[in-house]
Amino acid sequence: MILSDGEIKKLLLSGDLVCRPLTDESIQPASIDCRLGDHFLVVDDAHMESISLGEEIKYREIKTKSITIPPHSFLLGTTMEYIELPENLIAFVEGRSSIGRMGLFIQNAGWVDPGFKGKITLELYNANSLPIKLEAGRRICQFVFGRMGFRAEVPYGAPGKKSKYQGQMNTVGSRVFKDVETDSKE
């Protein structure tokens, strides 16, 4: 079930859901609008031949109040907002329609697990033929919250669970190289 504005406000007031900093204008009928932070990562292609799932990716870090994404280019950014999800809520991170209509695709793998705490790293892709200039502090995406039927037995960040992105406060690059793959022996 997707949460309404009234349910979101109640959870924020009780402290069961944390999203800060937050303004009254941020709360929409079924979501919270989130703003772009000022920390970005760009793949350092000058020092890499290719990207591999098994090796750490090198990034250039950029801290700025505005950034321009060239046509058909990709970079990572972060939300200004820090969130903490309880063990029975998930969040979907969706780009705002007005931003998508400019040709900017926003993704974060689309999903935030129950128990997550931190800022959200956003994958930003300019699908347009023109550069797109972005400014920190502008509303760029939204959190849509869903209630699970039961609390997660092992939420994200639980002791003993590998949680590669728990507590992130800046843009964080891919940590897929830390994955432990399972071998199926049939």
pLDDT of res. 111: 85
The residue annotated as part of the active site, out of 84, 87, 94, 123, is: 123
In a domain, 117, yes or no: yes
pLDDT band at residue 107, thresholds of 50, 70 and 90? confident
- 13 Cβ contact partners less than 8 Å away, ≥ 6 residues apart: none
pLDDT of res. 160: 80
The arithmetic mean of pLDDT across residues 91-95, rounded, is 94
- Which of 13-17, 90-94, 99-103, 176-180 shows the lowest mean pLDDT across its residues? 176-180
Annotation-wise, does 58 bind a ligand? no
Burial degree of 14 (CB within 10 A; 0-12, 13-18, 19+): exposed
In a domain, 66, yes or no: yes
pLDDT band at residue 113, thresholds of 50, 70 and 90? very high
In a domain, 127, yes or no: yes
Dihedral-angle region of residue 47 (phi above 0 means left; psi in -120 to 50 means alpha; beta otherwise): alpha
Q: Is 123 a catalytic residue?
A: yes
* Residue carrying structure tokens 């931003």: 99
pLDDT band at residue 109, thresholds of 50, 70 and 90? low
Sign of the dihedral through C-alpha 138, 87, 158, 91 = negative
For 119, the domain range is: 5-174
In a domain, 180, yes or no: no
The arithmetic mean of pLDDT across residues 131-159, rounded, is 95
In a domain, 181, yes or no: no
Q: What single DSSP character describes residue 176?
A: G
The arithmetic mean of pLDDT across residues 72-88, rounded, is 97
CATH number at residue 165: 2.70.40.10
Count of domains forming the chain: 1
> For residue range 2-44, what is the model confidence (pLDDT) as tens digits?
999 999 999 999 999 999 999 878 999 999 999 999 999 999 9
Question: Residue 132 above 70 pLDDT?
Answer: yes
Annotation-wise, does 121 bind a ligand? yes
Percent of the chain whose predicted confidence (pLDDT) is above 90: 79
Percent of the chain whose predicted confidence (pLDDT) is above 70: 96
The arithmetic mean of pLDDT across residues 49-70, rounded, is 94
CB 169 within 8 A of CB 120: no
Annotation-wise, does 164 bind a ligand? yes
In a domain, 92, yes or no: yes
Distance (Å, whole) CA 51 – CA 37: 26
pLDDT of res. 163: 87
In a domain, 182, yes or no: no
CA angle centred on 51, ends 76 and 58, rounded to 5°: 55
Helix residue ranges per DSSP H, the chain: 5-14, 97-100
In a domain, 185, yes or no: no
Annotation-wise, does 168 bind a ligand? yes
